[in-house]
Structure 1
């Protein structure tokens, strides 16, 4: 759907009650703020991006209340949020604006893979650091990778490999694939074919559907998949497309007696809208926030709920982790110079609420992992069961493939 590009004075309004500025924190952190430019699909992908932004502000304010960036004299963080318009062209214009008008020291963010790739290319041309937080396309750290671009979330290859490892023992050979027809969906489908072919002798794809992002014809898509008569389904749809697909699939019995492996479905952003229509037994990546007992994570959940009167989403976790990594980056670099930041990020180790995360120097891909489990119903809402946290370090692209793919 089209999203209008806000003016440079417009901060994405209505997504959180908390202010952007450092209200209540000025007495702790001191000096000129370190301005970070964050651009994201706050309009089009609000279900993810709103909670993500909330948690970034929570982490920012906690850091500032604790004295700011100590290695830089206690300077506070100030994250400048802008909508990226959900298109490559708009995102590049916003990135330029953040650098030239807002004087940010580096860029972070983006959601859609094609937008992330455009900002990565811009960062390479402008020789400015870009910390890509959400886009999952493998190309960002592989064939289109560059020395100025780093990525936080586990990429498409990593998350698909997690699902393949979880379903391969079932021995299902006949699969159909449904994925959004853009970079992320195409990459996920290609990875699934490659990894399953290596893991399951006799694996074959008997049907594929690639609806346009945000425009799925659920009836036609479900009908075509059912006609292929697969024994397994690999689903990459998310957001409103996922809800429509699940509703139609439930009605027509598409998922009955079939193994379903599904990227992202276990994330609260996408499970909450499904409600009591959540299909049971799908193998998925997600975020069972209410079941994670680690003390630091529980403290984060309590702080988030107290401030925003809402439960966290996967976007919330990511936003908080990103700011923790930014803090550690600045403390390690002891500078806002781009070259110093790059040197510090390559191999940076950060202790986050999701556990230890390392930024691999070889391809600038972090080892942040994901929870893998099965969907289930808890009353009238969806949840995850039989889940484990999979360390991203176990699922990185092989080093030889990275060296062959990367040009810079």
Structure 2
């Protein structure tokens, strides 16, 4: 054999051995595809990614899943629906991931849910709060972890009703989540307080609020109370302009998500004291499951967890749990295993409901206070998500048949 022939044979043998090694490595690892809008919503998603990382460490430290290493392959969808669908397909076809998890904005979550339905791929939606993902546009392959827009709105309504305020102003980011929150609040309030009036609505584009103009428009309507679903930078601008112009004086204000550290911490001593909110009082939760999570998170990252940390951790744990329950990566068996799946989370055990694929994860409800120049939640309690869901009969009317 001449030297050239020997080199070709050697190269071919090396390539074959590399292929075998790669195949063996792939067989030793179970990969799940994850996509999210990391650059767009960094305040929430940086802690979210840390929560996922902690969960993966814990899963692999206890033997992985089905005797194999558990891995999450992440991509940044840039908050764009088209890019999210492209990446979902890349994760499933090129990366050969078992199924999909993640997403943050509601419109992106819905786009990936549509992809999951079309391609018959399991999708565990982590953060998108839209009600449509489990109800109006629900499908066989899509499940959702976080308490939905409807659920968190319903958690605030009892306190709103106690105040018996008649004239309400509403302000919301003008996309799926904000629209759904507004619709749910109006519906739930009208059912219990028929004389309620909604005297003004302001719907600025997400991330582009002209807070001064919004505050002036609300003030001109002279409401008794305000319901808001603003978050992030829009919320901060609204709070500052509202305080400067005296909008909130003498008015009850309710705001979804404003008690989450991601959005409350940046306000520091400007936190709007007295607001009714949903959030995450990490500093006061003493349940064993939360303490275990908190201690592990603090030890690993030298930082306290945010709500995103809880969501990332619980999403990864859900992905591992369904694989273990199914005992296989067969897609239809994974989907069947998701129905009724129970998962231990830092907020307690949650169940993915069979009737609509919504998990029973709840949220903390309370009011904003100030301590040491920083916003905190006060008078808070945990609202069990299972208690703030529509009846099975109502779900059946809203959700398409599989």
- TM-score normalised over the length of structure 2: 0.92
Within-5 A mapping of 1:87-106: 87-106=80-99
Task: Identify which of 26, 51, 54 aligns with 2:50.
Answer: 54
Report the more deviating stretch, 336-345 or 209-218.
Answer: 336-345
Within-5 A mapping of 1:218-233: 218-233=211-226
Distance 1:68 1:91 in 2: 28
How far has the Cα of 1:168 moved from its partner? 1.0
2:64 paired residue number:
68
Task: Identify which of 25, 28, 33 aligns with 2:29.
Answer: 33
Q: Deviations over 1:199-220 (max 9, x none)?
A: 2231110000000000000000
Q: Is the 1:30–1:75 contact (alpha carbons within 8 Å) kept by the matching residues of 2?
A: no
How far has the Cα of 1:398 moved from its partner? 2.0
Distance 2:255 2:192 in 1: 17
Higher helix share: 2
Task: Identify which of 126, 136, 145 aligns with 1:152.
Answer: 145
SS in 1 for 2:180: helix
Q: Is the 1:156–1:184 contact (alpha carbons within 8 Å) kept by the matching residues of 2?
A: yes
1:235 paired residue number:
228
Distance 2:373 2:272 in 1: 12
1:374 paired residue number:
367
SS in 2 for 1:34: strand
Matched, 1:216 2:212: no
2:177 paired residue number:
184
Within-5 A mapping of 1:7-406: 32-69=28-65, 72=66, 74-406=67-399
Q: Is the 2:101–2:315 contact (alpha carbons within 8 Å) kept by the matching residues of 1?
A: no
Q: Is the 2:212–2:241 contact (alpha carbons within 8 Å) kept by the matching residues of 1?
A: yes
How far has the Cα of 1:84 moved from its partner? 1.0
Distance 2:384 2:69 in 1: 31
- TM-score normalised over the length of structure 1: 0.91
Moved over 2 A (4+): none
Q: Deviations over 1:164-189 (max 9, x none)?
A: 02221111111000000001100100
SS in 1 for 2:283: helix
Distance 1:169 1:125 in 2: 45
How far has the Cα of 1:31 moved from its partner? 6.0
Distance 2:321 2:108 in 1: 26
Q: How many residues align structurally?
A: 377
Distance 2:175 2:140 in 1: 25
Distance 2:116 2:320 in 1: 21
Bigger Rg over Cα: 2
SS in 2 for 1:290: coil
CA RMSD, Structure 1 to Structure 2 (Å): 1.3
Q: Is the 2:125–2:143 contact (alpha carbons within 8 Å) kept by the matching residues of 1?
A: yes
Q: Is the 2:277–2:366 contact (alpha carbons within 8 Å) kept by the matching residues of 1?
A: yes
Report the more deviating stretch, 326-335 or 281-290.
Answer: 326-335
Stretches of structure 2 that go unaligned for 5 or more consecutive residues are 1-24
Q: Is the 1:321–1:354 contact (alpha carbons within 8 Å) kept by the matching residues of 2?
A: no
Distance 1:393 1:302 in 2: 27
